[in-house]
Amino acid sequence: MIRIVRYISNIVTGVIVFLFAFLMSGALVEESRLIPSRWYYFLLAAVWITGLFWQIKPRMRAWGIIITMLPTAYILIAFYLAWMFQNTLV
């Protein structure tokens, strides 16, 4: 039961992060080189979904967690740096 709740919470968190990143990338992509075009997020989503499926298998669970964290961390760090540089340049 705990495994199912954790899996569902990972999906909800990832969907929220990717929707936020996908929508905000249009606003910041012209002003920052850190944030690539919107199509790049489909690749990150594919990596993230692969990590979710790897979390199901007991042998691959640790790798699945690591692979799931990488795109999320990249998106959050890129948006923070873009926001920080945008505020210092204005």
- pLDDT tens readout for residues 37-88: 666 667 777 777 777 777 777 787 788 778 777 777 777 777 777 777 766 5
Residue 22: its pLDDT value, please?
65
Please check the confidence at residue 90 and state whether its pLDDT lies above 50.
Answer: no
Residue 33: its pLDDT value, please?
56
* CB 81, CB 39: distance < 8 Å: no
Residue 87: its pLDDT value, please?
63
Residue 51: its pLDDT value, please?
77
